[in-house]
């Protein structure tokens, strides 16, 4: 796949998986700062379960676009750690999005120049 086309699909895949496929419930439940009261009330499982599900969703989309299955777990871990940093106030929204984008650029670089 051409480089620019691949980057376009990575960007679209990110928007879909990080915004449209992430429900409002998941966005709330993955946040360790917000979800504790909900867990105590029995409304959702532990935050790390939802954070993992969100990370894995992003990992599946990225691995499918790039065609390298083991990029899925790498993307899932990176995505979950970055979102954890955002949810706990260590980084802001734009730092979160830049981190996701730079990591996807790194993976695309690996596809074109290393693998």
> What pLDDT tens digit does each residue of the chain (115 aa) get?
688 899 999 999 999 999 999 988 888 889 887 756 666 666 667 889 999 999 999 999 999 999 999 999 999 999 999 999 999 999 999 999 999 999 999 999 999 998 8
Look up the domain containing 99 and give its range. Answer: 3-114
Count of domains for the chain: 1
Question: What is the C-alpha separation between 18 and 6, in angstroms, rounded?
Answer: 18
Residue 4 CA: distances (Å) to CA of 7, 9, 75:
5, 9, 20
- The predicted model scores a pTM of 0.89
**Closest CA relative to residue 60, chosen from 49, 50, 71, 48:** 71
Question: What is the C-alpha separation between 34 and 101, in angstroms, rounded?
Answer: 26
Please say whether the beta carbons of 40 and 16 come within 8 A: no
């Amino acid at each position: 796949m051409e480089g620019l086309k691949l980057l376009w699909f990575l960007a679209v895949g990110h928007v879909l998986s990080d915004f449209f496929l992430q429900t409002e419930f998941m966005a709330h439940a993955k946040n360790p700062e917000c979800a504790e009261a909900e867990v105590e009330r029995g409304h959702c499982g532990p935050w790390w379960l939802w954070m993992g599900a969100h990370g894995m969703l992003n990992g599946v989309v990225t691995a499918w676009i790039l065609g390298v299955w083991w990029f899925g777990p790498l993307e899932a871990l990176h995505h979950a750690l970055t979102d954890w940093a955002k949810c706990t106030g260590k980084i802001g929204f734009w730092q979160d999005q830049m981190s996701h984008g730079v990591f996807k650029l790194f993976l695309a670089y690996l596809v074109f120049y290393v693998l």
